[in-house]
A = this chain, B = another copy of it.
Amino acid sequence: MSKGTLLYAQSGGVTAVINATASAVISTARAKGIKVLAARNGILGALREDLIDTSKETAAAIAALAHTPGGAFGSCRYKLKSLEADRGKYERLLEVLRAHDVCWFLYNGGNDSADTAWKVSQLAKAFDYDLTCIGVPKTIDNDLAVTDTCPGFGSAAKYTAVSVREAALDVAAMAETSTKVFVYEAMGRHAGWLAAAAGLAGQGADDAPHIILLPERAYDEAAFLAKVKQVVERVGYCVVVASEGIQTADGRFVADAGGGTDSFGHTQLGGVASQLAARVKDGLGYKVHWTLPDYLQRSARHLASKTDWEQAQAVGKAAVQFALKGQNAVMPVIVRTSDTPYRWKIEAAPLHKVANHEKKMPAGFIRRDGFGITDKARAYLAPLIKGEAPLPYGSDGLPKYVTLKNVAVKKKLPAFEA
């Protein structure tokens, strides 16, 4: 008699610790004697019946997964629409799950994925198929509802705070004869959590970052330039951290201002940092440098937060436990029970409460002048970057990241074009 299998899939942008969640899911299930399949390239693999047999991986490889960034089985940007619009796909998904005797489906992603997992759970019920669906939280954007924080965010936040502090020391040393303004572009299209975390890089009023621009506040160029000038005149240099998603009061993304084509008709790719840098150069005449860390900020496992790493593993472990207990359509979320000392626990939250919500920075986290974070924000953010997640390095000076074998499971169904 088959015990049933567990299917795990990763979704959306990967993080420095999503594989730590995968590692915890697999090792927890293994300890219970349960076979774990993984979908290749997220939900696409589930639709195409392109599944990976994780039992082919050694225990050492699964352990090493816990310190390897990226998405070990592949992830994807692919959103299933409503049950009505994409009914064929949802039914195909159930068909694949059934063909591989999947009793537990764990979908590791953001609010879209929570929504998908919820819909699959509803459909399974309608088809009288005994399936337990669990959403497992992940996103560097920290914008999931209900959970106190999202695995992946704390590590990206630590990367941001450390990088801003280090670059600020560089700028401070050279400011008299070189760069006076430095602009750091943080990910966050709708919510400014990562840019806000840069605030942890300094404590005093004159510490970097001197200006944080958040999408929760309208970008006002005149006020921004005036503030830059004031900081440079007082401190000698100015470090600016900007969310990629900042907009003017009339709703235009600052990042899009450049875009378009150059005089040769070539595409110009925009970006908030380069735009702000150009404005500072034009408006104030200061020498300016900027950085766009892009994927480096979400893949920097070498600078992962221990808190984040532990939480990434905890949600993976809890997801399996909830699944085995038949707690359908839930997500393991992080509940903060104390700021100082920082204490947290995992609870099960209904998926529909997480799905399709987007948690922005509360007004009380943003300084009155809009250019920084409050003590309340600091109290929230500070514990999330604490501790250094262990990471083995090889004799070559590089972290020892693992590449899995990712052996495909034999297909049982006809092909399907997803």
Contact = CB atoms under 8 A, between A and B. Distances in A.
Interface in A146-171: 158, 161-163, 165-167, 169-171
Interface string A251-290: 0000001101011101111010010011101100000011
A177 interface: yes
B170 A69 contact: yes
A395 interface: yes
A248 to B, nearest CB: 13
A176 B76 contact: yes
Contact of A386 (B274, B294, B303, B397): B397
Given A262-B258, A266-B282, A69 B296 contact: no
A182 B386 CA distance: 30
A169 B13 contact: no
A162 B299 contact: no
Interface in A52-68: 68
A29 B150 CA distance: 50
A292 B182 CA distance: 13
17 contacts: A14-B170, A70-B166, A74-B174, A75-B173, A170-B298, A258-B266, A262-B268, A268-B278, A269-B277, A274-B274, A290-B294, A296-B296, A302-B302, A302-B303, A382-B396, A382-B397, A385-B398
Given A76-B178, A200-B398, 7 more contacts: A70-B166, A162-B302, A162-B398, A257-B266, A269-B290, A274-B274, A386-B395
Pairs A-B, 6 closest by C-beta atoms: A70-B169, A71-B173, A166-B299, A291-B294, A385-B397, A170-B299
